[in-house]
Chain A
Amino acid sequence: MQEVSLQPRRAAELLERVETNVHRVIVGKDRVVRLALAGLVAGGHILLQDLPGTGKTMLARALATSVGGTFRRIQCTPDLLPSDITGSSVFNQKDLTFEFVPGPIFAHIVLADEVNRTTPRTQSALLEAMGEGQVTVEGTTRVLERPFFVVATQNPAEFHGTYPLPESQLDRFVLAAEMGPPTDAEALEVLARREHGDPIAELGAVIEIQEVIELQEACLRVVAAPAIRSYLVALLQAVRARSEVLLPASMRAGVYLQRAAQAWALFEGRDFVLPDDVKLLAVPVLAHRLGMRGRAKAADMLDEVVSTVPIPPLRQH
């Protein structure tokens, strides 16, 4: 059996194709698009935090369509039950058997919209599926098909009737991003594109779902040199040493930061991680999982840390 491994250059080509395709629907937002795609390639899940109507769903759908995978959407409500996500057995009266009807979680890309609106019980069912890559319904464990990528969204403005995700749950997302408001030019462009219909209907797949798995494997092969690891550790230590940090970054945060940096390297066709990748991803990967004291902003603190921690010497002793 001959294994054809994806070359970094080819990976960058595929990723660019997907990005271009997504941008046919999403105007601007290069960074968010790339972060979302990086989350997919890194084999993790992402959290989009922004107001409604900023294109979160559109981004998830465009991504799903572009990679040729199945897409499901879970609109989280307070009365949503775990079985509504995982699916349940239904009695088939025709042949008198119980038949498993898979829930919306059985898809390649799942959008969990307003995840903070549902109960902690349902949240944990979803998050367990995210962590394990499998669901257990009525004693039967069912493995979810790869790639499995959850895009959860959270509305940070509303607090009434919400169950904010605790830090331990937030820690499971490889990165979090904000869509951010569109610029005037982008807004005009969005309106122009929608004049005669919805461009997402015309969107087609540009890569195969199998190639997403290959991209994920290529991501694992990207080299993170010892110097990079030292840098990661130094960053995490520096964050821990900050007085305004209440809940420091976990080890998982470090692992995710390394993985995300590996994925980021692929976008530039590199098979090795640069400290620049780590710097760039520090805020998206770390900010949402830090518990801060008072009104301190994690992103500001991280910016400061990243700009002061020395990168390890180029020559390793």
Chain B
Amino acid sequence: MAAVTRLFRLPPSPIESSVEGRLFVFAGFAVAVLAIVLYGQDYVVPIAGVLVAAAGHVVSYRERNSRRTFWRQTLLATLVFGALFYVLSDSALALFGGILPQANFAILLVAITSFDLKTRRNCYSSMWISLAILYLAAVYAWDYAFGLLLVGWTFCLAAFWTASHLRRNEAAFRLPARAVAVAAVVALFSGVVWFVVTPQPSGAPVSPLVVSLPNFTSFKGDMESPALPLVQIAGDPTGATSSVDLHYRGRLGDSPVMYVRTGAPAYWRGLVFDTYRDGVWTASIRDYQQLEPYVPPRVLPPAPPDNLGTFVQTFRVLRDMPGVISAAYPVESLYAPVSGLREDAYGTFHTPEQLRAGQTYSVVSYLPNLTAGVLRTDAPLDQLPDHFLTYSDVGALSDRAIALAASVTRDQPTYFDKVMALTTYLQTNYRYTLDLPPVPSGRDPVDWFLFDVKTGYCEQFATAETLLLRSQGIPARLATGYATGDYDPVLNQAVVRERDAHAWVEVWFPRHGWVPVDPTPGVSPLAATQFPSHWAAGGVARLLPHLTVGAPASALGSIGALALLPAALGIAVVVAVLYAWLRRRRWVARRRPQPGEVELLRLYERLQRRLGRRRAPPETPLEYQRSIESALLEEVTRAVNEGAYARRWPEPRRVREMAQRIS
């Protein structure tokens, strides 16, 4: 038994006496809390946590040399359980309306345990919890500022290590200059090589070298329509709209709109539009079907042929939204906790009221088997959709646009290939941007997009594609909604944000119905829901918080290779510190304490405290013993001398016997 406990007992950690080191531990925590404040938009618990932790650090430092008392440890443990109760109640019942209950829990944990930071290991534990807090913030972070926070935390860790470890060993910290230089040069060089070698998609060509700070993240304000930014509010009691105006565009923020727990990544399809007039999309078919809150499969259209099965999505609405059920298409069945549902002519469900923050609904959707091979063999256009004329109306599309569509699709053998040709043509020859100048008055937004600016956002792409397809006799319509969102591995769900709002095209295929197609650059042209294995395979990469290439890559495009400098320097510093640390590790091989050694020295310390005067540094144990009358001290001193200077430590059992005599 004793052997087992010895096996699992950690080696003793020295008491941390470096004030600077402790300061950096606290700073690391402050950095993590700052991240939560910035990205979690939560203030009360984080600020309280920092204040409590500051007090805790002071207490820990002052009492670092005294023993831990039973009652205080009990109190701290109770508080930890209290924090646990808080996180459970807040996440299950939303008692305090916490956005990030798990982050608040971690903050409370650090605040409580900061009263118990005695040893160096305690300090390291505190740093690791800070890292966990930072990680939770990373789930919501979406900019370079977060990288700065991460660098700040890393600096705190390195500084704590330096202050604590090197100060204690009275070793001077010397930066290995050569290693730093080599690492910096290699990092810079490989960064440049990587930048040069990485293929740049022609859909998003690299901008000329412009030295500027990335400002794509600066927007934090509201959108013109906070709920569904593509849609102008137009008097509908549910908040849903009946039009999309290409002349206007609300800028999209980063705040989450809803969480989706889903079995497969998909586009969350909302409103669909069929009529385009003067830059404005409207829905002309006004047939509604009234349904119960639970819509069973038998009420809905039959399953698509050769479907791969179904998957469940659970949506949690985070803010008030129009009463439109966003879900993967086609729907097999659904349940929304409302008084009733309406299904419109486009297969979208509407709730009688606005969707409120905190509401949840579940949808079961089909995984349609839509691949290029399957669609290519679809029958020719022998079966037309209802309202065929509406879906073929090109409005005021210019002749040169029609000619363009004809030239692109001319040599394509099949119906499907024509669709794909147009889609990929738009993807490769037009650039995506959110910074679009206003449409000149009198111009048709589509014609202006196709032949003048040649840049646009999803609505421009989708509108152009829809009209071009229609001009070639292919029925199509505009679908709006949200992209999948970012997978959050902590909560195991996708976080859908404002900026995930999206528009794409639905194309009629006689055997498969409406098939989603996405002409926006950088995404799969065939936008049908993917088989979940794709989602699972991406899981490893998604475990790293938001290493999405898009934003950093576009930033790189705007600031050029200079953007590599901070990254390269960061890598170089980390490598250098690691190198120095490894060198040190090799030089100072730690000796394992012998049995009885730790116990005896601990007893010796205790005895000194008990005797009221501690041994002065220049005083030998023998001199100390001679200055104080104590039979036990005499015995302990003899043992200490034997141990420290002859390496003959007493049996732990003997130490315990001596320890019993102390009181």
Contact = CB atoms under 8 A, between A and B. Distances in A.
Binding partners A and B: yes
B440 interface: no
Nearest to B169: A317
Contacts of B646: 223, 225, 270-272
B588 A315 contact: no
Interface in B190-229: none
Contact of A316 (B591, B617, B620, B622): B591
Interface in B614-630: 617-623
A114 B643 CA distance: 45
Contacts of A246: none
Contact of A227 (B169, B598, B644): B644
A243 interface: no
Interface stretch (A11-19, A158-166, A306-314): A306-314
Interface residues of B, number: 24
Interface in A286-317: 306-311, 314-317
A264 to B, nearest CB: 13
Nearest to B600: A314
B235 interface: no
Contact of B645 (A228, A307, A317): A228
Given A276-B623, A317-B169, A317-B588, A311 B645 contact: no
A314 B591 contact: no
A111 interface: no
Contacts of B640: 314
A279 B621 contact: no
A307 B591 CA distance: 29
A270 B646 CA distance: 9
B604 A314 contact: yes
B597 interface: yes
A26 interface: no
Contacts of A316: 591
A223 B645 contact: yes
A270 B622 CA distance: 14
A7 to B, nearest CB: 14
A28 interface: no
A270 B641 CA distance: 11
Given A225-B645, A317-B591, A309 B618 contact: yes
Contacts of A271: 646
A273 interface: yes
A274 B622 contact: yes
A274 B645 CA distance: 6
A309 B601 CA distance: 21
Q: Is the interface of B mostly helix, strand, loop or mixed?
A: helix
Given A315-B601, A317-B169, A276 B620 contact: yes
A73 B98 CA distance: 97
Contact of A279 (B617, B620, B643): B620
Given A223-B645, A317-B591, A276 B604 contact: no
A275 interface: yes
A314 B620 contact: no
B410 interface: no
B618 A310 contact: yes
Contacts of A311: 617-620
A225 to B, nearest CB: 5
A277 to B, nearest CB: 9
B202 to A, nearest CB: 60
A314 B601 contact: yes
* Centre residue among A223, A273, A317 by max chain B CB count within 10 A: A317
Interface in A216-240: 223, 225, 227-228
A68 B619 CA distance: 40
Given A225-B644, A228-B645, A315 B620 contact: no
A272 B588 contact: no
A65 to B, nearest CB: 34
Contacts of A308: 618
B171 to A, nearest CB: 11
Contacts of B169: 317
B8 to A, nearest CB: 22
A283 to B, nearest CB: 15
Given A225-B646, A227-B645, A274 B618 contact: no
A314 B621 contact: yes
* Residue from B597, B598, B645 with most neighbouring chain A CB atoms (10 Å): B645
B298 interface: no
B647 interface: yes
A230 to B, nearest CB: 12
Contacts of A227: 644-645
Point out which of B604, B618, B621 has the most chain A C-beta atoms below 10 A from its C-beta: B618
B618 A307 contact: yes
B593 interface: yes
Interface in B583-607: 588, 590-591, 593, 597-598, 601, 604
Contacts of A314: 601, 604, 621, 640, 643-644
Interface string A152-190: 000000000000000000000000000000000000000
11 contacts: A270-B646, A272-B642, A274-B645, A275-B620, A275-B645, A276-B623, A279-B620, A311-B619, A311-B620, A317-B590, A317-B591
Interface of A: 223, 225, 227-228, 270-276, 279, 306-311, 314-317
Given A227-B645, A274-B620, 20 more contacts: A223-B645, A223-B646, A225-B645, A225-B646, A225-B647, A227-B644, A228-B645, A270-B646, A272-B641, A273-B645, A276-B622, A276-B623, A308-B618, A310-B617, A314-B604, A314-B621, A314-B644, A315-B593, A315-B598, A317-B590
